[in-house]
Amino acid sequence: MFSTITRMIRYYTSGMHAFAMSRSRGWPLLVLLAAPSPFPNPAWADGRTVSVGVYENAPKVFTSDAGKPSGIFIDIIEQIARAEGWHLRYVPGTWAEGLERARKGEIDLMPDVAYTAEREKIYAFHKIPVLSVWSQVYARKGSGIQSILDLHGKRIAALENSLQLQTFTRLTNSFGLKFTLIPVPDYKTEFEMVATGKADAGLTNRLYGLMHARKAGLEDTPVMFDPAPFFFAAPRNAPGQLPEIIDRHLAQMKKDPRSAYYAAMKRWTSEEVEFRLPAWLQIFGFILGGVLLMSLGGSFILKHQVNARTRELQLVNREMERRIDDRTLTLQETNARLLTALEALAGATEHAEAADRIKSAFLATMSHELRTPLNSIIGFTGILLQGLSGPLNEEQAKQLTMVKGSASHLLSLINDILDISKIEAGQLELVPEPFDLRESIHKVAQSIRPLVESKGLTLSVQVAPDVGTIVSDVRRVEQILLNLLSNAVKFTDHGEISVRCVREAGHYVTSVTDTGIGIREEDLERLFLPFRQIDAGLSRKYEGTGLGLSICKKMIELVGGSIWVESRVNSGSTFSFSLPLERGST
Amino acid sequence: MKQKILYIEDNEQNLYLVTFILEKGGYEVCAARDGREGIDLAAAVKPDLILLDIQLPLMDGYTVARQLRSNPELAEIPIVALTSYAMAGDREKAIAAGCNGYIEKPINPDTFMQQVELHLPGREG
């Protein structure tokens, strides 16, 4: 394909070459003839009819597909006719017919006639050639004709009675070559004969060859000869000075690169050459064009689809972005709220912790500040009662005993309040250690015995043989038992108080039973709530903060046990608590 | 010869009460009003037992106990803490600081001497 293109370019440049030659040849004449122009038009010229012969030798002169005479010579003569006001009448025919008509004066002008001295005798020629064209040998593709010598013995078609043929004959004769001449009326016939194999080669001018060879399936050979100038030929001695008028116009036209002359040359040479693409190239071009169109169309459709998809995707994308933005916003808001909440929580926690610290400090201070004066009261009362400061009389001893009792009661109240406060502040820490529960029970019972007996009550302690060591906080366990026993003594006026302890599935269950006033069923539920000493009426009779049982319950829970009560009004109550053998075993 | 008990206490009434009980019980009592003085006095008189109030000005009882224990000459002297602190871990903190015993205030005059004598080595056995 590359070589074909190169070849095409060669055709083109060859054409230009011919054209350039024609121009260069025209310039000297131009200088001579430019001066007298413009000539005044003769009066008789107006409305004059000029008959022009037409034969088929495209692109110089030919009949177009539409039946209209066309070509370089036609364009030029029509330009001149327009300028001169001529009316042109075309007379179609063969080359030979045209020459004959011009000779006889039947037509005014015959285009495309090469100047020869011989013709000069018959025709009148103008001076400035319309164009110069080389003659060239054309053959079928792959003919192998590379030089004039290859034409020896070949059948060669040529336009009859043409200068070209004469020159070629002279040329071949000088090389001593022989060939068989096949005379043809026109180049079209000639090319057909070469193409169909009736002739081996054909002679034509380059312009025609460039335009028609490829279409006919022929190619140019390197054999070129006799560049000849071509003119319009007029009948000799005809009136009207047609050659002079043509020369004048040609001189003018050749001076101006934008003139009709150059336009014609360009139109019928370069353009035609360029236009005359080989059939296969045209087909290829069509296919390529088709493919291009299809791919263009395809790509358009594809692009359309892609655009549509892109738009869809963009929509989806925008939707996604919108959603993400929404979510992000929501998340940010949630986050902000969370942060605010966390800050508030942190603040609250800090506040609570600060409050806790203040509470703890307050408890410690209160403990100290309340106990210090009590220390004096209890201490000095005790010293006096012991007689360490001297003997007391009976009344003094009785009164001091009352002071001591009140002080002890005040101390127990303070202790209760401190205990419940410590429990609620989480300040009550346990010290689990192994100890003998049996021993502890007896110890606590012994400590309460004087009080029991002072009320005329009896106290019995029954600890099962399998009760022994337990891991718990001994102080708290003893405190719980003492509290229950104190309550029993407080609410019992006659009868007995008994303490029992048995071992049950991982627990020791300790019970304190009294024969006291008992508790109504409706009061049992709130028995263990803080500050809930049942029956306001009783509170005067039975002193206490009402904290004892709630402290017991909380402590029991802290050591991993539980507490419960069974009671009947006026029959007595049984308070029981269980303790895991080892703390945390439940 | 009477056994000597050093009592470190800033409260006048408590100091008088405890000193009275101890002297009636047959002991010689040295009194210090703050931790610094207590430590100096302990080094000077080498008491048989130290009663130590925890709520002291300037230097608290725990610090005093630790400083007493850091002196090898005083390391063997029993220390009994006296405190109206009844908060969580008070007892443990006192023991950890080097105290041998712990008596909660207010003291019970009926049992106080017994509680103190529990920690006096000379009375054991």
pTM reported for the whole predicted model: 0.43
For residue B54, the domain's CATH number is 3.40.50.2300
Put simply, the answer to whether B107 touches A360 (Cβ < 8 Å) is no
pLDDT, tens digit, 9 for 90 and up, residues B46-73? 999 999 998 888 888 999 999 999 999 8
Closest-CA residue of chain A to B55: A368
Q: Give domain status of residue B85, yes or no.
A: yes
Q: Give domain status of residue B122, yes or no.
A: no
Closest-CA residue of chain B to A420: B87
Q: Give domain status of residue B75, yes or no.
A: yes
pLDDT, tens digit, 9 for 90 and up, residues B3-61? 999 999 988 888 999 999 999 999 999 999 999 999 999 999 999 999 999 888 888 89
Integer Cα distance of B41 and B37 in angstroms: 6
pLDDT value, residue B110: 85
Closest Cα of chain B to A426: distance in Å? 9
pLDDT tens, position by position, for chain A (586 residues)? 444 444 444 444 344 444 444 444 444 444 344 344 444 444 444 578 899 999 988 888 988 888 889 898 999 999 999 888 899 999 999 888 998 999 988 999 999 888 888 888 889 999 888 888 888 889 988 888 888 888 888 899 998 878 888 888 888 888 888 888 899 988 888 999 999 999 999 988 888 888 888 888 888 888 888 888 889 999 988 888 888 898 988 888 888 888 888 888 888 775 444 445 667 777 777 777 777 787 777 778 888 888 888 888 888 888 888 888 888 888 888 888 888 888 888 888 888 877 777 776 777 677 777 878 888 899 899 989 988 888 999 999 999 998 988 888 888 888 877 777 777 777 777 778 899 999 999 999 998 999 899 999 999 999 999 998 999 888 889 989 998 999 899 889 999 999 999 998 889 999 999 999 888 887 887 788 766 555 544 444 556 666 788 888 888 988 889 999 998 888 899 999 999 987 544 3
Cis peptide before A38 (omega within 30 of 0): yes
Q: Give domain status of residue B125, yes or no.
A: no
Put simply, the answer to whether A379 touches B17 (Cβ < 8 Å) is yes
Q: Give domain status of residue B124, yes or no.
A: no
Task: Name the residue among B11, B24, B86 with its Cβ closest to that of A367.
Answer: B86
- Best of A362, A365, A370, A383 to disrupt the B interface (most B CBs within 10 Å) is A383
* Chain A environment of B89 (Cβ under 8 Å): 429
Q: Under DSSP, is residue B54 helix (H, G, I), strand (E, B) or coil?
A: coil
* Chain B environment of A385 (Cβ under 8 Å): 109
**Four-residue CA torsion sign, B81, B10, B114, A488:** negative
Question: DSSP secondary structure string, B8-66?
Answer: E---HHHHHHHHHHHHHTT-EEEEESSHHHHHHHHHHH--SEEEEESS-SSS-HHHHHH
Task: Name the residue among A376, A411, A422 with its Cβ closest to that of B13.
Answer: A376
Closest Cα of chain B to A476: distance in Å? 12
* Chain B environment of A383 (Cβ under 8 Å): 17, 20-21, 24, 109
Rg (CA), chain A: 70
Put simply, the answer to whether B88 touches A427 (Cβ < 8 Å) is yes
Closest to B83 measured CA to CA, from B117, B54, B114: B54
pLDDT value, residue A166: 84
Kindly state the tokens that stand for B24. Answer: 């009636």
Q: Under DSSP, is residue A465 helix (H, G, I), strand (E, B) or coil?
A: coil
Number of structural domains (chain B) is 1
Put simply, the answer to whether B17 touches A375 (Cβ < 8 Å) is yes
Closest-CA residue of chain B to A365: B85
**Angle, CA of B14, A422 and A434, to the nearest 5°:** 90
Integer Cα distance of B125 and B116 in angstroms: 15
* Chain A environment of B87 (Cβ under 8 Å): 360, 363-364, 367, 422, 427
pLDDT value, residue A372: 80
Is the complex ipTM higher than 0.85? Answer: no
Closest Cα of chain A to B93: distance in Å? 12
Kindly state the tokens that stand for A142. Answer: 């792959």
Put simply, the answer to whether A379 touches B14 (Cβ < 8 Å) is yes
Contacting residues for A466 by C-beta, under 8 A, at least 6 apart: A503
Integer Cα distance of A181 and B69 in angstroms: 148
Put simply, the answer to whether B106 touches A382 (Cβ < 8 Å) is no
- DSSP structural state of residue A270: I
| Rounded alpha-carbon distances, angstroms, from residue A361 to A350, A356, B90 | 16, 8, 13
**In A, what residues contact B, Cβ < 8 A?**
360, 363-364, 367-368, 371-372, 374-383, 385-386, 388, 411, 415, 418, 422, 427-429, 431
* Chain A environment of B14 (Cβ under 8 Å): 372, 375-376, 379
Task: Name the residue among A363, A375, A383 with its Cβ closest to that of B14.
Answer: A375
Closest Cα of chain A to B19: distance in Å? 11
Integer Cα distance of A553 and A480 in angstroms: 9
Task: Name the residue among B13, B88, B109 with its Cβ closest to that of A429.
Answer: B88
Put simply, the answer to whether B20 touches A388 (Cβ < 8 Å) is yes
Q: Under DSSP, is residue A566 helix (H, G, I), strand (E, B) or coil?
A: strand
Put simply, the answer to whether A372 touches B84 (Cβ < 8 Å) is yes
| Beta-sheet pairing, A433-436 with B101-104 | unpaired
- Best of A366, A371, A381, A428 to disrupt the B interface (most B CBs within 10 Å) is A371
Q: How many contacts does A have with B, using Cβ atoms within 8 A?
A: 74
Total residues belonging to chain B: 125
Q: Of all helices (H) and strands (E), which one includes residue A110?
A: strand A110-114
Residue whose structure tokens are 């039946």: A67
Task: Name the residue among A363, A376, A385 with its Cβ closest to that of B17.
Answer: A376
pLDDT, tens digit, 9 for 90 and up, residues B66-93? 999 999 988 889 999 988 765 556 778 8
Contact A56, A63 (CB under 8 A): yes
Closest to A260 measured CA to CA, from A73, A91, A65, A108: A73
Closest-CA residue of chain A to B15: A376
Within chain A, how many helices (H) and strands (E) appear? 17, 18
Domain encompassing residue B89: 4-117
Integer Cα distance of A487 and A374 in angstroms: 24
